[in-house]
Amino acid sequence: MSDLKDIDINNFGPKIESIIKEAFKTCVVQSEKSCQRNYIPAVVMAVLIFNALVYIGNKLGRNFLIKL
């Protein structure tokens, strides 16, 4: 496994945004049930990734996040 300092935190923001946008796009096109099938995993993924970033930030210390 790579060192925590090698992880590019800035890379995750656009990915989270695109996952959520994709979920909303399908909501407009599809029925409510399929919307829920797509939307819920997207939100769960976003929350998990956010929590991972917070965890990594706490591991590396607050100074690391301020540098970004």
Torsion angle, alpha carbons of 56, 59, 60, 62, to 10: 90
Question: What are the Cα distances from residue 21, in Å, to 3, 7, 44, 61?
Answer: 31, 24, 14, 31
Asked if residue 1 belongs to a domain, the reply is no
Read off the pLDDT of residues 2-35 as tens digits, 9 standing for 90 and up: 455 555 656 666 777 777 777 667 666 666 666 6
* Prediction pTM value: 0.42
In a domain, 7, yes or no: no
**Is 5 inside any structural domain?**
no
Label residue 68 by pLDDT band (50, 70, 90). low
Number of domains in the chain: 1
Confidence check: pLDDT of 47 > 70: yes
Assigned token pair, 45: 């993924």
- The answer to whether position 40 is within a domain reads yes
| pLDDT of amino acid 56 | 78
43 part of a folded domain: yes
Domain span including residue 54: 12-67
Q: Is pLDDT above 80 for 49?
A: yes
